Chain A
């Protein structure tokens, strides 16, 4: 609740600030202050309860899981703002608006993690993506960028309509005639064709928002076309927040009828893992490769929906944290490269040893090598899937997908350390970005050894 109010307030503040600020850097400082306040108040709500009680008629319901996720998402936003100093300079006149839009997207994140009715779910998702439609097109002189924005907007709007259709059918199909997810919570007996159709439509719409295959076609073009700051925001915070909404929907409303949707989710998982990983192997641009691998990561996360144990929830949180940290770190690295194809990484270990070292840690985490958070995230989820009946083949498939992921992630490591330098341009990371890269890498390793410092809070 705090987060929603504060980010709305700060978003408006940023908008108005655009009139006042003459210096280009001041909006950035204000935005960073805003995110820090946001994190602090969100933590305050986590420990003591909300500052302001709004009359929301129980349409929003905060849970420790949702607030926990908010903290991760807001911290990730802070990291993105601090990591990408240079990119903001290229935004031109619209610096304040840019930050304002990020805050509006964060309202959407906070709503998507605490909705209690299907309408608020829709509102959260839309509030999250509509500012992002603008943000993807922020660099409007660039054709590729405009293409990405338009593609994202058109497909996104279409699938939002699909979600609305699904909500309508579910509203019509349940006996109570309610939007509240607790009331709709379906028993094993009361499934009817309307509900089933609504559920499938919602599944499709949400699968699009998390960019799970086969609804992934927008993702690579959009992530590739936008500046890497926005790509990192899209592929970490937006995707994982949409996933949390997905997760909550299927755990509460459709929790009782898992046998009905399990197969559909498994199809999504298998398709995402295979399409994401196999396509990534053939990419030459590292940015595009990250976009495809994001699809595969979503496949792994979706696996966390199958088992309904607390440990699976822990695994989901851990995976989200690991994926977010490593991915935004990688986009931070890409933002620093002139040439972000695989050749561009040649000899980075010599040119910029610190940057190469951090990249290695992020890539190891994304692959899922022990001692990094990425491994334990995968491990928690796989372990809970292993306790289900008849899932042996899925486990085999997913561990073999880890190998596929290793193929393309390790190619970057090989390029950085084993191949000779192609151009002599040096430029290592220093200053605040170095500190942030260091913190991200440290957190990645720390969570790979002691995941409890993060996961135990979902029981708070």
Chain B
């Protein structure tokens, strides 16, 4: 079988990397699209096969399939260690799925220098995979920075306008976070006990989990990690880069930033921040919960008054992920499980939302709500699917968000001061979604809608896939929750995640 020769985390990184290199040499636009789509399908296949080896009860049996470690800078105590476990399976699967959908949906768009555009997209996929599979702090920092660097080029070169310098602003903002992550790693390093015998200290996650950090180190390192991760998620008040950057990015980049890059930030809390530094987390927990709550409510209200659909999707994304990190910051079993589940959902429903926005702009050439209306007569199929997607976004029963939201709210039970704003946040989410739905799809037909063209077949397929995923998670939430039981239990026991 596949896993006997190559481990899954390796394949998930190497396939997009190598195919990205191949894509760089295909000058032809159609060829570049085809090769990159092919590559994302291969990675999707790999991650689906990997899911067959994901049963946590048989983790030791499948160890060789899911973990790999090479010597690398061994005298520093680092090693190139990759591994998949609970949430790792979920988010690598999410990454592959989102990339497939992104490429499917934007198939009609032509980009200048397509070979470099699609090549960079595939490199980006490899870097994001690296973040989700890294089990060594230095490897994490490597992939983290690369995952932030590549969109700088994508945004700047293929973005809407170069005048504002937003790509540089985006990069400087998040690179500051990345170097603070580096500082946090450097603070932890001298206090670690090595696993590899060649070095005095170590960067591997097992060494970090088993090292006794003093309270001072924990507070400092967790504070720095928080400053590194919060801007990426993005949580109020560190969200200012986000709407501007995604609005001016090309659609594939905007979709991946708001579905995967932000997930990376929250995932880093689950894998590194919280289980590694429980005392530090306890010190900051209240502040983090309050920031997440503000994030949900505040960005929900801002989404309510947006006219630009892209901007609305950006603010909706901040509101939605706010709910997910709120669950994670609650720090109890239900909250963590619900939060991680909601994070997975976030990737799917936000991709779906971006797809709807993209298709609307693609077929009508317009993305301002005020100049749209009555789209249901032109695109009934899109209308039905958009309705399902919006319901999935707001957490209606029979969708994945419902289960996740239920668990998050169960996690807050007893704390009325949390429940009221969080509930209000969900209500606002419902409100802005319905508002957009009624104004865009119903009412009288506008000029832009009259001349709308048809959806492409690939776009239809992508919509069907994403709606099946949303409903599927609602019908069969065990797909996610069974992977989370053991990691969450371990996190709560303080022995890693």
Give the chain A neighbours of B189 by CB distance below 8 A. 383, 386-387
Known: A399-B182, A399-B183, A417-B156. A370 touches B145 (CB 8 A): yes
The 8 Å CB contact of A386, one of B156, B168, B186, is: B186
Give the chain A neighbours of B385 by CB distance below 8 A. none
Give the chain A neighbours of B141 by CB distance below 8 A. 370
| CA A402 to CA B162, docked complex, whole Å | 24
The 8 Å CB contact of A419, one of B162, B176, B180, B183, is: B162
Known: A369-B145, A386-B186. A417 touches B179 (CB 8 A): no
Q: Are B153 and A410 in contact (CB under 8 A)?
A: no
What's the nearest-Cβ distance from chain B to residue A10, in Å?
Answer: 38
* Best-buried of A380, A406, A407 by chain B (most CB within 10 Å): A406
What number of residue pairs across chains A and B have CB atoms under 8 A from each other?
73
Q: Is A403 an interface residue (CB 8 A)?
A: yes
* Best-buried of B149, B167, B186, B201 by chain A (most CB within 10 Å): B186
The 8 Å CB contact of B175, one of A379, A383, A392, A406, is: A406
Known: A370-B142, A386-B186, A387-B190. A414 touches B172 (CB 8 A): no
A385 to chain B: closest residue by CB = B186
Q: Are B187 and A395 in contact (CB under 8 A)?
A: yes
The 8 Å CB contact of B179, one of A402, A418, A452, is: A402
Give the chain B neighbours of A380 by CB distance below 8 A. 76
| CA A410 to CA B165, docked complex, whole Å | 11
Q: Are A311 and B176 in contact (CB under 8 A)?
A: no
Q: Is A93 an interface residue (CB 8 A)?
A: no
Give the chain B neighbours of A364 by CB distance below 8 A. 149
Q: Are A414 and B149 in contact (CB under 8 A)?
A: no
Q: Are B162 and A418 in contact (CB under 8 A)?
A: yes
Give the chain B neighbours of A417 by CB distance below 8 A. 153, 156-157
Chain A, 394-424, CB within 8 A of any chain B CB: 395-396, 399-400, 402-403, 406-407, 410-411, 414, 417-420
Q: Are A392 and B176 in contact (CB under 8 A)?
A: no
Q: Are B76 and A403 in contact (CB under 8 A)?
A: no
Q: Is A290 an interface residue (CB 8 A)?
A: no
Give the chain B neighbours of A386 by CB distance below 8 A. 186-187, 189-190
Q: Is B418 an interface residue (CB 8 A)?
A: no
Give the chain A neighbours of B393 by CB distance below 8 A. none
What's the nearest-Cβ distance from chain A to residue B141, in Å?
Answer: 7
Q: Are B157 and A418 in contact (CB under 8 A)?
A: yes
Q: Are A399 and B180 in contact (CB under 8 A)?
A: yes
Q: Is B376 an interface residue (CB 8 A)?
A: no
Q: Are B220 and A414 in contact (CB under 8 A)?
A: no
Q: Are B172 and A403 in contact (CB under 8 A)?
A: yes
Q: Is B452 an interface residue (CB 8 A)?
A: no
A349 to chain B: closest residue by CB = B157
Q: Are B186 and A410 in contact (CB under 8 A)?
A: no
Give the chain A neighbours of B176 by CB distance below 8 A. 400, 403
Chain A, 263-321, CB within 8 A of any chain B CB: 311
Q: Are B179 and A399 in contact (CB under 8 A)?
A: yes
What's the nearest-Cβ distance from chain A to residue B243, in Å?
Answer: 20
Give the chain A neighbours of B138 by CB distance below 8 A. 379
Q: Are A410 and B168 in contact (CB under 8 A)?
A: yes
What's the nearest-Cβ distance from chain A to residue B257, in Å?
Answer: 17
What 1/0 flags go to B202-231 for Cβ under 8 Å of A? 000000000000000000100000000000
| CA A395 to CA B180, docked complex, whole Å | 10
| CA A19 to CA B54, docked complex, whole Å | 78
Q: Is B146 an interface residue (CB 8 A)?
A: yes
Q: Is A451 an interface residue (CB 8 A)?
A: yes
Give the chain B neighbours of A132 by CB distance below 8 A. none
Q: Are B168 and A411 in contact (CB under 8 A)?
A: yes
| CA A420 to CA B156, docked complex, whole Å | 12
Q: Are A396 and B183 in contact (CB under 8 A)?
A: yes
| CA A410 to CA B167, docked complex, whole Å | 10
Q: Are A400 and B171 in contact (CB under 8 A)?
A: no
What 1/0 flags go to A111-139 for Cβ under 8 Å of B? 00000000000000000000000000000
Q: Are B172 and A410 in contact (CB under 8 A)?
A: yes
Give the chain A neighbours of B162 by CB distance below 8 A. 414, 418-420
Give the chain A neighbours of B495 by CB distance below 8 A. none
User: Which DSSP category, helix, strand, loop or mixed, fits chain B's interface?
Assistant: helix
Give the chain B neighbours of A400 by CB distance below 8 A. 176, 179
What 1/0 flags go to B128-163 for Cβ under 8 Å of A? 000000000010011001100100110011000010
Q: Is B75 an interface residue (CB 8 A)?
A: yes
Known: A311-B75, A400-B176, A417-B156. A395 touches B171 (CB 8 A): no
What's the nearest-Cβ distance from chain A to residue B164, in Å?
Answer: 11
| CA A400 to CA B176, docked complex, whole Å | 7
What's the nearest-Cβ distance from chain B to residue A211, in Å?
Answer: 25
* Best-buried of A383, A403, A414 by chain B (most CB within 10 Å): A383
| CA A452 to CA B168, docked complex, whole Å | 33
Known: A386-B189, A395-B187. A414 touches B179 (CB 8 A): no
| CA A399 to CA B189, docked complex, whole Å | 16
Q: Are B175 and A371 in contact (CB under 8 A)?
A: no
| CA A364 to CA B146, docked complex, whole Å | 11
Q: Are B171 and A406 in contact (CB under 8 A)?
A: yes
The 8 Å CB contact of B167, one of A371, A402, A414, is: A414
What 1/0 flags go to B174-204 for Cβ under 8 Å of A? 0110011011001101100000000011000
| CA A417 to CA B149, docked complex, whole Å | 14
Give the chain B neighbours of A371 by CB distance below 8 A. 142, 146
The 8 Å CB contact of A414, one of B146, B168, B183, B187, is: B168
A396 to chain B: closest residue by CB = B183
Q: Is B73 an interface residue (CB 8 A)?
A: yes
Give the chain A neighbours of B75 by CB distance below 8 A. 311
Give the chain A neighbours of B179 by CB distance below 8 A. 399-400, 402-403
| CA A400 to CA B177, docked complex, whole Å | 10
| CA A131 to CA B197, docked complex, whole Å | 49
| CA A403 to CA B227, docked complex, whole Å | 14
What's the nearest-Cβ distance from chain A to residue B97, in Å?
Answer: 27
A401 to chain B: closest residue by CB = B179
Give the chain B neighbours of A3 by CB distance below 8 A. none
Q: Is A382 an interface residue (CB 8 A)?
A: yes
The 8 Å CB contact of A382, one of B149, B167, B180, B186, is: B186
Give the chain B neighbours of A410 by CB distance below 8 A. 152, 168, 171-172
What's the nearest-Cβ distance from chain A to residue B75, in Å?
Answer: 7
The 8 Å CB contact of A403, one of B142, B146, B175, is: B175
| CA A400 to CA B172, docked complex, whole Å | 11
What's the nearest-Cβ distance from chain B to residue A451, in Å?
Answer: 7
The 8 Å CB contact of A395, one of B73, B167, B183, B201, is: B183
| CA A411 to CA B162, docked complex, whole Å | 12
What's the nearest-Cβ distance from chain B to residue A380, in Å?
Answer: 7
Q: Are A369 and B149 in contact (CB under 8 A)?
A: yes
Give the chain A neighbours of B172 by CB distance below 8 A. 403, 406-407, 410
What's the nearest-Cβ distance from chain B to residue A356, in Å?
Answer: 12
| CA A256 to CA B31, docked complex, whole Å | 65
What 1/0 flags go to A372-391 for Cβ under 8 Å of B? 00001001101100110000
| CA A407 to CA B173, docked complex, whole Å | 10
Give the chain A neighbours of B73 by CB distance below 8 A. 376, 451-452
B203 to chain A: closest residue by CB = A383
Give the chain B neighbours of A376 by CB distance below 8 A. 73
Question: What are 30 pairs between A and B in contact, CB < 8 Å?
Answer: A369-B146, A371-B142, A376-B73, A379-B138, A382-B186, A386-B189, A386-B190, A392-B187, A392-B220, A395-B183, A399-B179, A399-B180, A400-B176, A400-B179, A402-B179, A403-B176, A406-B171, A406-B172, A406-B175, A407-B172, A410-B168, A411-B168, A414-B156, A414-B168, A417-B153, A417-B156, A418-B157, A418-B162, A451-B73, A452-B73
Given A379-B138, A382-B182, A418-B156, 12 further pairs, Cβ under 8 A: A311-B76, A369-B146, A370-B145, A370-B146, A379-B182, A380-B76, A383-B189, A392-B220, A403-B176, A414-B168, A418-B167, A419-B162
- Nearest first, the 8 A-B pairs at minimum CB distance are A399-B179, A418-B156, A386-B186, A370-B142, A418-B162, A399-B183, A387-B190, A403-B176
Which A residues contact B (CB, under 8 angstroms)? 311, 364, 369-371, 376, 379-380, 382-383, 386-387, 392, 395-396, 399-400, 402-403, 406-407, 410-411, 414, 417-420, 451-452
